[in-house]
Amino acid sequence: MANKPANRAAFEIQAGYCTAMDAPITARVCTALAEALDRDSDTGRRVLDWPGEPVADALALRLVGGLHALHRAGLDPTLSAVFSGAETDPSRVSATLKGTLVARDAALLPWLDGPPQTNEAARSAGMMTGILHLAERYGPRFEVLEIGSSAGLNLLIDRYRFDLGGVTVGPDTSPVTIRPDVADPVAAARLAAYVWIDAVERQARLAAAIAMVRAGGVDLVEGDAADWVEAQLAEPQPEGVTRVLMHSVVWQYLSATSRERIRVAMDAAGARATVERPLGWVMMEPNRDLHRHEVRVRGWPGDRAMELVALTHAHGAWVEGLSPPYETRDYVMRRGAYEKD
């Protein structure tokens, strides 16, 4: 059932996330949208009548992505003044967005149809941290399976160069070096629209990563995540290679049924895993209470539970490796965040 106050409040919540991640323009847009939303457009009515969980569904980022795409297309100078940061007066920002929702209704409405496309190559820094933990246990050869595959950006993980606090991996000649740095927190068209206007370096990194995908290609499959994971885990596995399921900021978008099917499939595959054919699970998913993401790792064979091995910025600006003993607990998805049982 739709909850209009909660749907409107989701934009204020997203504004808080953006402020915490040094994205003041996007924060200002989200704050203004919380006020500007009304029933004068199909887009506004659909947002206010949203039937799901607005925060877990990233409702605010769906609409902000559409507005950013309009700015990038140069279709509305008044809107572009907001996204460039030239217009900062709250009442005028709100009025501009209110007018845009009506004037560009048909263009904006489809952006609500699906969740934001994960768009940040630097998130692979968190997943590489998890993979390195598995490499210590099982060796350096990996077969990576990814759900919610970021248009292939993170499937280039073996082609990126990483500098993780002095630990360097990947080819020296890579055109993309991912060097998470807490001092420097901060890009096709749909991906770029989901990269916040404030994040200039992210946009440049995305452009370089897209060029790598176009030049070298990756194996992308469109389909149901649980069906795909079950099928991949049933495929023969080479000896001496660790098969790894990885994902970043995708668990919240899966249904409870899909999440449970994946858990069951991984547990079953883990029970079959051997020293010659190990299995790993690396996840980078949000802790929304603390405005950070958690990197958790599990490997088979072995009886170690899922371990929290690192904390990371949502866009890979920094990664903090943790020291043992690692926190272990079952993970439960509620409203798009991990919570303790």
Q: In angstroms, rounded to a whole number, what is the distance separating the alpha carbons of residues 298 and 130?
A: 9
The pLDDT-based confidence of 125 (bands split at 50, 70, 90) is confident
The confidence score (pLDDT) of residue 339 equals 31
Which residues are bridge partners to 287 per DSSP?
292
**Residue 91: is its pLDDT beyond 90?**
yes
Q: What is the C-alpha to C-alpha distance for residues 120 and 162, in angstroms, rounded to an integer?
A: 15
pLDDT at 340 over 50: no
Over range 91-100, report the average pLDDT. 97
Question: At a CB cut-off of 8 Å and minimum separation 6, what does 127 contact?
Answer: 154, 157, 246, 248, 282, 284, 295
Residue 336 clears pLDDT 60, i.e. is over it: no
User: 166 versus 226: which is more confidently predicted?
Assistant: 226
Report pLDDT for 289. 72
Q: Which percentage of the chain shows pLDDT scores above 90?
A: 51
Average pLDDT, the chain: 83
pLDDT value at residue 151:
58
Provide the token pair at 49: 């009548």
Residue 58 tokens, joined: 């990233």
Handedness of CA 26, 29, 31, 33 (dihedral sign): negative
Q: Kindly state the average pLDDT of the residues 98-116.
A: 92
Q: Distance (Å, rounded) from C-alpha 205 to C-alpha 220?
A: 21
pLDDT at 160: 79
Of the listed ranges 89-103, 222-236, 262-276, 314-328, the least confidently predicted one is 314-328
Half-sphere exposure of 105 (CA within 13 A, CB side): 15
Query: What per-residue confidence (pLDDT) applies to 18?
Result: 87
Confidence label for 187 from pLDDT (cuts 50, 70 and 90) = very low
pLDDT score, position 217: 56
Instruction: Give the rounded distance of the alpha carbon of 158 from its chain centre.
Output: 19
Encode pLDDT of 30-44 as tens digits.
999 999 999 999 999
Most confidently modeled of 120-134, 135-149, 165-179, 316-330? Answer: 135-149
Q: Check whether 316 has a pLDDT greater than 50.
A: yes
pLDDT band at 214 (very low <50, low <70, confident <90, very high): low
Which tens digit of pLDDT belongs to each residue from 223-255? 899 999 999 999 999 999 999 999 988 888 888
